[in-house]
Amino acid sequence: MTEQEIRKIVREVLEQGQTMDAPPPILVEASARHVHLTAEAVEKLFGKGAKLTQKRPLSQPGEFLSDQRVKLVTAKGEIANVAVLGPERQAVQVELSLTDARVLGIKAPVNLSGDLSGAGDVYLVGEKGCLEAKGSVIAAKNHIHMTPEDARLYGVTQGQRVRVRVDSSRPVTFEDVTVRVSPKFSLAMHIDFDEANACGLTPDAKGTLLPWKGGE
């Protein structure tokens, strides 16, 4: 079932005031290691006046994979050719899997994107310069992007915690998945590569939303 087919079901159910015994499955996407940069960081790494240029759009509206790449460097290791996502943000954020963090010797907290509390440090190296990105490294907590319309269908709210069973070649149920709601979003669950490998994720894999039993 494609995202377009899922959205069609959502619209029909809401328009007709119907209820569903089981809402449709949710697209599950793997998010590779990547970096978000401020406008100032882009200039520091790629030269004065530099802007992020779009290579291809991502599933979330307005977001894109840029043509730019950076190298991550610490005293214990380095990872080259790391994707930079656009558009520019208000803070530098480096999203790694826990495996990546161990390679670099970084203690990265598992936080929702945008939460840099306790975040680790790393050096970013671009074509024109280097930047010490203190308090920037996290392992992104798995989450589901939903529009308000999607949230009504699935009976959830912003910040709610749920479980999601990924129906793949190696089925895994992820606990404590956070729901993020915005009219700017497109329905999808995001997990990192460690989680994707654990469940044998394929491009057409879907997840079934289940109630959270871990309390508030």
CA dihedral 179, 203, 97, 75 (to 10 degrees): -140
pLDDT score recorded for residue 191: 98
CA distance 133 to 82: 15
Three-class secondary structure of residue 193 per DSSP? helix
Per-residue pLDDT of the chain (216 residues; tens, 9 = 90+): 666 666 666 666 555 555 556 679 999 999 999 999 999 999 999 999 999 999 999 999 999 999 999 999 999 999 999 999 999 999 999 999 999 999 999 999 999 999 999 999 999 999 999 999 999 999 999 999 999 999 999 999 999 999 999 998 899 999 999 999 999 999 999 999 999 999 999 998 999 999 887 655
How many other C-beta atoms are found inside a 10 Å radius of the C-beta of residue 96? 28
pLDDT score recorded for residue 204: 87
pLDDT score recorded for residue 6: 64
pLDDT score recorded for residue 20: 53
CA dihedral 169, 170, 176, 181 (to 10 degrees): -10
Contacts of 1 by beta carbon, 8 Å cutoff, 6+ apart: 24, 25, 206
All domains in the chain, ordered by first residue: 3-29+142-210 (2.40.40.20), 32-140 (no CATH)
- Computed over every residue of the chain, the mean pLDDT equals 92
pLDDT score recorded for residue 64: 98
pLDDT score recorded for residue 214: 67
Radius of gyration of the chain, Cα coordinates, nearest whole angstrom: 18
CA distance 131 to 100: 19
pLDDT score recorded for residue 4: 65
Q: Any idea which residue has 């043509």 for tokens?
A: 67
Contacts of 102 by beta carbon, 8 Å cutoff, 6+ apart: none
- Locate 152 and state its tokens: 């009504």
pLDDT score recorded for residue 169: 86
Q: Any idea which residue has 């996290």 for tokens?
A: 138
Contact 84, 109 (CB under 8 A): no
- Locate 180 and state its tokens: 């993020």
